[in-house]
Chain A
Amino acid sequence: MKITSQEDFWAGIMFIAFGLLAIYISQDYPFGTTSRMGPGYFPTWLGIIMAVLGVMVAATGFRIKGEGVGKFAYKAMVLLSVAFVFFGWAIDHLGFVPALFVMIFLAAAAGKEFHFKEVLMMSVFLIIGSWALFIWGLELPFPLFWWR
């Protein structure tokens, strides 16, 4: 049996995984009865149906001809994720400006082209623009730098 549709097969596996995870976590919640459903009733059933659907989807992976999944843009995934995560941590510890600055550079690095001077100018422009819009205009309470 060959997998003819990568995307459907793996989608199915993903659904099965989510379904089983849901069933597992819901064991901790009281189930209740059909007329007085407990918090665990709905999620458990959802998990079961999810897993069943997952099997069905995965099965179509052997029948239909798919387009394939293609390669993943690992560099972009990592850089963009780190950029975001850094922002989330840094805005409270280092302040609005440093957090944005580093994030913009990391994000731009995920792109195909990276020209240092261009990114630098863009960061300055974006930081000033964001400050004007969010901090001055909308009065959002973000500390600008780490010394507040």
Chain B
Amino acid sequence: MATSVRIKGLLKEFGSFTAVDRIDLEIKAGQFFTLLGPSGCGKTTTLRMIAGLERPTGGEIYVGDRLVSAPNRGVFVPPEQRRMGMVFQSYAIWPHMTVFENVAFPLRELRLPKATVHERTLATLELVGLADFASRPAPLLSGGQQQRVALARALAPSPEVLLLDEPLSNLDARLREQMRFEIRSTQARLGITTIFVTHDQLEAMTLSDEVAVMHSGRVEQIGPPRHVYEQPATRYVMDFLGQVNHLSARIRVIDGVSHAEVRGAGTIRLGSTEGLAEGDEVVLGFRSESVNLAPGGGDLVGTITAATYIGGYMEYVVEVGGAGLHVRAPADSNLPIGSSTGLRMTIDGIRTWGGSTPAAPPQAPIS
């Protein structure tokens, strides 16, 4: 049965260090929700507090309508009573048990009849494609198999919430892709509320219904992956979600329309004037897909300093106003190093940071 998870003002301090700084999250029933951020941003601590493995310093956690943690009110439900399943980064497969015993463990803790334990264990192993491995001792499993046992063990007791702590980070690239797909399809089939922790933006993009980008114990932005990617609320979010080009520029307001003037390279018409004023020093941020080579034309002029073939397309480094921009172009484009080229910008893809007034809040999700 899918359940929502609500977090209010969650706080965790280790001595004078604040690992999680009063965050609020609202995870809807059946959602695949991802906590994304670099190591040390507090995402794993947040997950562990939801699990009950870490005691919060403040704030409240609700699972459905049940309050499971509220230090101010003396509420702390121990992990074994929270009806959650968890897959650990190290998988934490008990080495002194067989595959079957590992998966049956949570069912036996529920004091289910023997026959039921047997039946449900095998059914869950079937679900992850390990039915043939039931009697194998756990230490004799490969990384991918351990991962599946961990998933089966977490799912066997039909928990209300599934917690995944970087479950893919110990797998090699090919297996990671396959497991990513399997986790997503299993989750979709069972419709279980899932909270996933990762530092890999690709995993976050491809798996999630919603992503919360965390930084220094705070949530920088929450939204569907596409929204977070295309409408980053902060420069940090934009940088974290993929390669970003940065350009320093000065704002010029011409006929009521703001333009960004890049010294020695040209001017880009930004359209909106919101949050920007004449003379502001700003940083423009945009991804390589928002800039195209336009030899002999475009908004900016630069010099090609490097060209690399990256399978399917070319990546050029174009020096513009002292900064090196990464620009993609078709594989058959053949511009010599040292030549000068024009660049055409896709204005929707440009974010400006550092204006004199706060930037506008991100708009509603793009459908």
Q: Do A and B come together as binding partners?
A: no
